[in-house]
């Protein structure tokens, strides 16, 4: 049995997904509800992002400011989720949208009193996406997956491989097992932010797909720290554990947590609905919440 994510890597990678917007959100105390008018259900024209005050030139994720109220959250999520699903695949544009997406969901997860109103006000096409992302993020907030960190973890933050290269690795894993590529992408995303995090979990799990060495000895072939080799090992593990016929069983074997199964399944469902969503997730950065506060760990960071 592989026991990886219940420890440090998912807990801190979760810092972005569930409750750590990367700075700028207020505390989650209860506030009076406001009425939010539903957003337009008309899909924005292809390759067009409506001009807003947030379309200024941004060169770093930490320059992104999260929405400050529920009404702004509706606008940002609508623009970002639709923007990720246009024919304009400019890498810089997609990265910016991914950064905004991460900050928005982190803030919304930290403000549960906004969630119902925001979901109600979102147009239907975006509401389905947002609900799945919130379900995943809320699941990853489960205590067994998100223990508090006393200090910054002993990690190196890497530049991830290009999304096209990772997609080829996921597709190879699907071809060999029949398991949808979206599950490998979701696991890679949740475990180490698509390969950004290099460091062991508190359970001793290693590499971008977080294998403990004894499990790697059975399913691994090559380098446990190599994205390609680790993804193929995950494919062999999930196949042996019941996939693709019973993915809930297979995912539970991968990490014995119902919350983890829910999170991976929800992220995979977003990718199954539109593969272009992968570009957004691929852009998500590493933020860590410790007892001393929230920390952004940029690519190239290493604990000295």
Q: How confident is the prediction along the chain (304 residues), in pLDDT tens digits per residue?
A: 444 443 445 544 444 333 222 322 222 222 333 444 444 443 333 333 344 444 456 788 989 999 999 999 999 999 999 999 999 999 999 999 999 999 999 999 999 999 999 999 999 999 999 999 999 999 998 776 777 788 999 999 999 999 999 999 999 999 999 999 999 999 999 999 999 999 867 678 999 999 999 999 999 999 999 999 999 999 999 999 999 999 999 999 999 999 999 999 999 999 999 999 999 999 999 999 888 888 999 999 998 7
Q: CA–CA separation, 241 vs 266, rounded Å?
A: 20
Q: What is the pLDDT of residue 53?
A: 42
Q: CA–CA separation, 55 vs 45, rounded Å?
A: 17
Q: CA–CA separation, 46 vs 50, rounded Å?
A: 11
Look at residues 186, 190, 184 and name the one whose alpha carbon lies nearest to residue 235: 184
Q: What is the pLDDT of residue 170?
A: 99
Q: What is the pLDDT of residue 6?
A: 39
Look at residues 20, 118, 119 and name the one whose alpha carbon lies nearest to residue 70: 118
Q: How far apart are the first and last CA of the chain?
A: 33
The secondary element (H helix, E strand) that includes residue 139 is helix 124-140
Q: What is the pLDDT of residue 292?
A: 87
Q: Residues 268, 183: contact at Cβ < 8 Å? A: yes
Beta-carbon contacts of 236 under 8 Å, excluding residues fewer than 6 positions away, are 176, 177, 219
Q: What is the pLDDT of residue 199?
A: 87
Q: Residues 9, 201: contact at Cβ < 8 Å? A: yes
- φ/ψ of 259, rounded to 5, equals -65, -40
Q: What is the pLDDT of residue 21?
A: 27
CATH 1.10.530.10 fits 8-13+155-275, yes or no: yes
Q: CA–CA separation, 156 vs 166, rounded Å?
A: 20
Q: What is the pLDDT of residue 18?
A: 30
Look at residues 4, 263, 254, 291 and name the one whose alpha carbon lies nearest to residue 109: 263
* pTM, rounded to two decimals: 0.85
Q: Where are the domains of the chain?
A: 8-13+155-275, 14-140
Q: Residues 227, 282: contact at Cβ < 8 Å? A: no
Structure tokens, 62: 């930490």
């Amino acid at each position: 049995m592989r026991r990886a994510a219940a420890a440090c890597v998912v807990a801190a990678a979760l810092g972005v997904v569930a409750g750590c917007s990367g700075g700028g959100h207020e505390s989650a105390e209860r506030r009076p509800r406001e009425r939010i008018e539903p957003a337009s259900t008309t899909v924005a024209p292809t390759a067009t992002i409506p001009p807003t005050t947030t379309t200024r030139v941004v060169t770093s994720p930490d320059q992104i400011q999260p929405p400050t109220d529920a009404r702004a959250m509706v606008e940002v999520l609508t623009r970002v989720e639709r923007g990720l699903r246009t024919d304009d695949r400019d890498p810089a544009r997609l990265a910016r949208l991914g950064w905004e997406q991460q900050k928005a969901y982190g803030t919304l997860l930290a403000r549960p009193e906004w969630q119902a109103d925001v979901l109600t006000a979102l147009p239907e096409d975006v509401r389905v996406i947002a609900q799945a992302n919130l379900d995943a993020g809320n699941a990853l907030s489960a205590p067994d997956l998100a223990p508090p960190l006393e200090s910054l973890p002993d990690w190196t933050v890497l530049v991830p491989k290009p999304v096209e290269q990772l997609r080829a690795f996921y597709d190879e894993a699907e071809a060999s097992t029949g398991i949808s590529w979206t599950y490998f992408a979701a696991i890679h995303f949740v475990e180490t932010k698509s390969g950004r995090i290099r460091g062991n979990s508190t359970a001793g799990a290693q590499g971008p797909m977080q294998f403990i060495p004894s499990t790697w000895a059975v399913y691994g072939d090559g380098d446990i720290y190599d994205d390609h080799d680790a993804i193929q090992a995950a494919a062999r593990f999930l196949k042996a554990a019941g996939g693709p016929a019973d993915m809930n069983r297979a995912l539970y074997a991968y990490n014995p947590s119902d919350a983890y199964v829910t999170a991976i399944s929800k992220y995979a469902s977003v990718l199954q609905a539109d593969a272009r969503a992968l570009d957004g997730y691929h852009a998500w950065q590493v933020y860590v919440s410790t007892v001393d506060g929230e920390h952004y760990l940029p690519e190239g960071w290493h604990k000295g």
